[in-house]
Amino acid sequence: MTERKLALNNDILMSIEKPARYIGGELNSVMKEKTQVKLRFAMCFPDVYEIGMSHLGMQILYGMFNEMPDVWCERVFSPWTDLDHVLREEHIPLFALESQEPVKGFDFLGMTLQYEMCYSNVLQILDLSGIPMLQKDRTWEDPILIGGGPCVYNPEPIADFFDMFYIGEGETKYPQLFDLYLTCRDEKVSREEFLKRAALIDGIYVPSMYEITYRTDGTIDKMIPRYDTIPKTVKKEVVRDLNDVYYPLKPVVPFIRATQDRIVLEVQRGCIRGCRFCQAGQIYKPIRERSVSTLKKYARELMKNTGYEEISLSSLSTSDYTGLQELLEYLIEECNQKRINISLPSLRIDAFSLDVMNKIQDVRKNSLTFAPEAGSQRMRNVINKGLTKEDILNGAQMAFLGGWHKVKLYFMLGLPFEENEDIEAIAELCNEIAALYYETIPKEQRQGKAEITASTSFFVPKPFTAFQWAKMNTMDEFIEKATLTKKTVLNQLNKKSISYHWHEAGTTIMEGIFARGDRKVSKAIQYAYEHGCLFDAWTEEYRHETWLEAFDKTGVDYSFYIFRDRNEEEIFPWDFIDAGVTKKYLLKEWKQAQAGIVTQNCREQCSGCGAGTYQCGICIQKK
């Protein structure tokens, strides 16, 4: 086994916040003898340790790669600002947790890109590792930089920094990619030749293999491969059977509390609902379930191998999992014996869900969460939420009768086709729910006043959604809408029972630019990083003025990406990706949204989205 010597001495570790982020050696982490492996992979989450260690996808790939005898996968996270300063001052290269050795010496550096506001951290990782930021400047002395995760469904704003992207679910093509890499190194071919061959693997997108031309109005004219052999489109990878794929039954258990500090059981992938604002609901189609028997086995193993005190069911919409009742009955019995809590995110508030929650330990300490997304029924139809006002009020009433008096409600502001009446309806709905509490629960049975917490985020149009054609609100418009919401809350009869919070608008603007940007945006990202932008997802670190300066100094008109209408024929930067759902289907949904017409969910009726080409999950069950 490789001998470990910590990259940071005791003086440094004692001088920084949370030194346990950087020392490795946790339960279930994997050590190998580096002379016995052929390929070393540094798996990076470009944010702090606690957030990265909460990500199931990273645990899946870490465990899967380390089951390969010739591969050693280690972990890397963004050093927080205190250690970032020390590494630069002391000229210490960024290192992987397991071996404590420099990242630059690895064969691959893989980054999971979960949210757009981590892009400056991508450059931090490269900078601290001594790896050239631009792909064109790298040699075989540098690792192959590969990106994955939801952000790669439009990788163009960061395409100049990456050697390749993996489009889709990571369990399928990595063995083939690793074999190709080892073959190319044995044959001593050029880095360019390796990238050219890698671009032929399904799901692998190599930006340097494509040339882009633009029209005079700034939109894309065409994107063409540089070689005849390179595919014009890249089709996402999908795991067809979730019962026959690797799952991390011995996940690494952090020394310090992670953001999601619990066992995670992924019950299904995909979603039947078809909300028009939701990118995840489209890119993870078709919906595929794990069997209850498989999940029972996973739960037993995970409880034995981790020591966690809580278990969570993970999916985009857990209520839609068809085996939920049987699975929960099993877990309640098992977890009560072992004194383990059960966490149930993403449940629809109905009689069954509330009955289950009543049986779970400590649940009355928490509030119940609804996500109506919009205040008025008209807007819920526009976004295809599939939730009526009656559903919301019935759910709230059942919750109050079940003993809850705290309710959290999540909404969005700035949705397409939104009117002031729709915004005011947010406060009015909160008021009705508060009033319902006082009408439903006699005064002598109340545990206190109703506590209704409304939170609004600002809407960002995303690729592969019906709203990818939509114009985004300006920062001033967002603030005006939040102010109107606050004002309307204060005018409600039950205002003392309602509290209201809204999301920061500056980061929303940047997220919108990165979500639908093209390769020209990369110049601004690099400028912003070089002028101090880092950890942009953290409110206290975000520097809005520096970002505006970056666009100005690099000649990038950021308003082009967010503040204009798009016509039906426009070629989008991400159109080269085949995500299953077709552009024709999304355009139809865009028009349905304008008309306020609801599309039925996948279990009620197939909407012909295109995901049926994968021949798995609900798409074949419906036939």
Give the whole-angstrom CA distance, residue 223 versus residue 233.
10
pLDDT in tens, 255-277: 999 998 999 999 999 999 999 99
Model confidence at 365: pLDDT above 50? no
Rounded to the nearest integer, the mean pLDDT of the chain is 95
pLDDT in tens, 167-197: 999 999 999 999 999 999 999 999 999 999 9
Question: What is the pLDDT, as a whole number, of residue 180?
Answer: 98
10 Å CB burial of residue 67 (0-12, 13-18, 19+) is exposed
Give the whole-angstrom CA distance, residue 101 versus residue 83.
16
Least confident interval from 360-374, 511-525, 560-574, 594-608:
360-374
Q: Give the residue-averaged pLDDT of 547-551.
A: 98
Tokens describing residue 54: 């909460």
Q: What proportion of the chain, given as a percentage, has pLDDT over 70?
A: 98
Higher-pLDDT residue of 118 and 365 is 118
Model confidence at 361: pLDDT above 60? no
> What one-character DSSP code corresponds to residue 252?
-
Question: What is the pLDDT, as a whole number, of residue 2?
Answer: 63
pLDDT in tens, 296-351: 999 999 999 999 999 999 999 998 999 999 999 999 999 888 889 888 776 777 77
User: Scanning the structure block, which residue is given the tokens 């919009």?
Assistant: 374
Q: Which of 513, 529, 506 is nearest to 573 (CA)?
A: 513
Q: Give the residue-averaged pLDDT of 225-229.
A: 97
Cα–Cα distances (Å) from 548 to 291, 312, 461, 524, 534, in that order, read 49, 40, 20, 9, 15
Q: Give the residue-averaged pLDDT of 450-463.
A: 97
3-state helix, strand, coil split of the chain in percent (to 5) is 45, 15, 40
Give the whole-angstrom CA distance, residue 218 versus residue 214.
6
pLDDT in tens, 375-387: 999 999 999 998 8
Question: What is the pLDDT, as a whole number, of residue 363?
Answer: 46
Question: What is the pLDDT, as a whole number, of residue 579?
Answer: 97
Question: What is the pLDDT, as a whole number, of residue 366?
Answer: 65
Give the whole-angstrom CA distance, residue 490 versus residue 492.
6
Q: How confident is the model at residue 448 (pLDDT cuts 50, 70, 90)?
A: confident
Model confidence at 623: pLDDT above 50? no
Helix axes 351-358, 389-401, angle to 10 degrees: 30
Q: Give the residue-averaged pLDDT of 16-43.
A: 97
pLDDT in tens, 80-89: 999 999 999 9
Give the whole-angstrom CA distance, residue 560 versus residue 472.
11
Question: What is the pLDDT, as a whole number, of residue 622?
Answer: 53
pLDDT in tens, 101-115: 999 999 999 999 999
Question: What is the pLDDT, as a whole number, of residue 357?
Answer: 73
Residue ranges and CATH numbers for the domains of the chain are 10-235 (3.40.50.2300)
